Amino acid sequence: MPPWLPRAIVLALALFACFHVAEWAFHELYGLLLNILVAFFIGLACEPAVDRLAARGMRRGAATALVFLGVLVAAAAFVAALGSLVADQVRLIVENFPDYVESLVEWINEQFGTELRVDDLQQDFLKSEVVRDYLQRSADNVWGISTTVLGGLFTALTVVLFAFYFTAEGPRLRRAICSVLPPARQTEVLRAWEIAVAKTGGYLYSRGLMAIVSGIAHYIAMLLLDVPYAPALAVWVGVVSQFVPTVGTYIAGALPILLAFTVGPWTAVWLIGFVILYQQLENYLLQPRITAKTVNIHPAVAFGSVIAGAALLGAVGALIAIPATATLQAFLSAYVRRYEVDARVQEERPLRRRGPARLARIRALLRHPGAPPGAPPGANPDREAAESGDAPRAP
């Protein structure tokens, strides 16, 4: 046995064991790592506002608390607006449910000649085993639902806590990371960090501004069309259309259009027309001007990044895909060297110039089949020979 073979076997087994331990730890800590990633991007988005407040003399911790308080108030207002809308709709459905049931029973009796009564149906429904089983399963799942809600609240608090630390301790965190790197690497890390802060913050701020503009425009339109719950629906359209990638526009416009049908079909038609018109105005006028200096990436690249982010990290990946792609694009453009294109690559213009000459020769050949390929248009040797008297005579 070679003397190095036992060491190689031990080293291979150790690496194999370390790989499995790392894989197990990654799967166990996947949720925590995902929360830290989300908190990191939230911290990047909030850092420009905190830097501005800190530059005016406010302590960084107080500035971070003020910015986070504003974000939480805005989120609470959004949830309250939608909650009032949902609560009112549920209340109306509960109040009108007996009328709906009576109307349905009367229609069934008229159409099928039955003699059903609402009281009998109610007693049969309450005494059925299906309802009892459903209520029993719901009672058993109360603990599971409560655990899910508590887990969601704990996750949200974890993300907020890490985001607060990332924002408040941003300069100290950068110094701690750069202290273990050589000077050349420190410059690259700081440059990448600045690009990430600028792109992420610019993306969220531009989306927030467009959400405000979209909400105001849709509120005015729904107010003129007498659509119910116009303020809550305007908040819904503004937030969902801008912060839900790719399909947010269609999801945001579906709810107001459905409620517009309760007013009248023509109201829904007019609202659909306004949504389409505003979408075109936003795509070709507002969005290019607002996002030109923040996340100026190609729409195809943005769409592909959203799909890739959703495939890798689900909904979280879809939300952070665009700022992450913009950051990577800006970082690569700062370090990738570009060269002038060789003139031999641009062969499109000579081909276009030769096109009319080739077309003229083809037309000349079609008009005068006897002309040689290099002769000018209109040249025919048989006709010239007949005019000069050298043409051969028929026997």
383 phi, psi to nearest 5 deg: -65, -40
Of 354 and 326, the one with more pLDDT: 326
In this structure, the chain runs to a length of 395
The answer, yes or no, to whether residue 329 has pLDDT greater than 80, is: no
Residue 130: the pLDDT is: 67
pLDDT, tens only, 16-45: 999 999 999 999 998 888 889 888 888 888
Rounded Cα distance, 48 and 161, in Å? 18
In the numeric block, which tokens belong to residue 157? Answer: 């608090």
Q: Is 278 a domain residue?
A: no
pLDDT, tens only, 296-324: 677 677 778 778 887 887 777 777 777 78
Out of 9-18, 152-161, 199-208, the most confident range is 9-18
With CA atoms as reference, report the closest residue to 76 among 239, 216, 226: 239
Range of the domain at 41: 25-180
Number of domains in the chain: 1
Q: What is the 3-state secondary structure (H, E, C) of the chain?
A: CCCCHHHHHHHHHHHHHHHHHHHHHHHHCHHHHHHHHHHHHHHHHHHHHHHHHHHCCCCHHHHHHHHHHHHHHHHHHHHHHHHHHHHHHHHHHHHHHHHHHHHHHHHHHHHHCCCCCHHHHHHHHHHCHHHHHHHHHHHHCHHHHHHHHHHHHHHHHHHHHHHHHHHHCHHHHHHHHHCCCCHHHHHHHHHHHHHHHHHHHHHHHHHHHHHHHHHHHHHHHHHHCCCCCHHHHHHHHHHHHHHCCCCHHHHHHHHHHHHHHHHCHHHHHHHHHHHHHHHHHHHHHHHHHHCCCCCCCCHHHHHHHHHHHHHHHCHHHHHHHHHHHHHHHHHHHHHCCCCCCCHHHCCHHHHHHHHHHHHHHHHHHHHCCCCCCCCCCCCCHHHHHHHHCCCCCCC
The answer, yes or no, to whether residue 285 has pLDDT greater than 90, is: no
Q: Is 104 a domain residue?
A: yes
In the numeric block, which tokens belong to residue 257? Answer: 């259009």
pLDDT, tens only, 31-80: 888 889 888 888 888 888 888 888 888 888 899 999 999 888 888 887 78
Residue 372: the pLDDT is: 53
Residue 327: the pLDDT is: 76
Q: Is 276 a domain residue?
A: no
Q: Is 378 a domain residue?
A: no
How much of the chain, in percent, has pLDDT values that exceed 70?
Answer: 75
Residue 394: the pLDDT is: 47
Q: Is 188 a domain residue?
A: no
With CA atoms as reference, report the closest residue to 275 among 251, 292, 291: 251
Q: Is 130 a domain residue?
A: yes
Residue 371: the pLDDT is: 52
Across the range 353-363, mean pLDDT stands at: 60
Amino acid, res. 367:
R
Residue 126: the pLDDT is: 61
The answer, yes or no, to whether residue 395 has pLDDT greater than 70, is: no
| 138-144: Cβ within 8 A, 24+ apart | none
Residue 120: the pLDDT is: 72
Lowest mean pLDDT among 185-194, 208-217, 324-333, 341-350: 341-350
Q: Is 266 a domain residue?
A: no
With CA atoms as reference, report the closest residue to 278 among 206, 222, 204, 202: 222
Give pTM, 2 decimals.
Answer: 0.65
pLDDT, tens only, 156-180: 899 899 999 998 888 888 888 888 8
In the numeric block, which tokens belong to residue 329? Answer: 């694009």
Q: Is 20 a domain residue?
A: no
Residue 24: the pLDDT is: 94
Across the range 286-290, mean pLDDT stands at: 73
